[in-house]
């Protein structure tokens, strides 16, 4: 299995300017988990600045980790 660096992006408008915050994770799953944690922050920003807010995970093309299958011991591979 191949894992890719994934960015949690929080963006919203403040005074007519876009504000963007990025937090990097080594796996998309970790980013998805973080999105549940940021839910209260999203709600607060929505209440303060309206619906011009976005929280999302963006998977990069940069590999962070490759999980390789382990070889079976020879005594088990002969059935």
Q: Is the pLDDT of residue 3 over 70?
A: yes
- The pLDDT of residue 76: 64
Q: Is the pLDDT of residue 71 over 90?
A: no
The rounded Cα 75 to chain-centroid distance in angstroms is 41
> Both tokens of residue 56?
């999302």
Sorted by sequence, the CB contacts under 8 Å of residue 17 that are 6+ apart come out as: none
Question: pLDDT exceeding 70 applies to what percent of the chain?
Answer: 95
- The pLDDT of residue 23: 97
Q: Is the pLDDT of residue 77 over 70?
A: no
Number of H-type helices and E-type strands within the chain: 3, 3
Whole-number Cα distances in Å, 55 to 2, 25, 50: 24, 15, 13
């Amino acid at each position: 299995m191949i894992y890719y660096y994934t960015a949690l992006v929080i963006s919203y408008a403040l005074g007519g300017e876009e504000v963007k915050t990025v937090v990097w994770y080594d796996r998309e799953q970790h980013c998805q988990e973080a999105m549940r944690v940021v839910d209260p922050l999203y709600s607060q920003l929505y209440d303060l600045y309206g619906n011009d807010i976005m929280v999302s995970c963006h998977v990069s093309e940069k590999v962070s980790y490759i999980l390789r299958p382990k070889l079976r011991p020879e005594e088990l591979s002969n059935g």
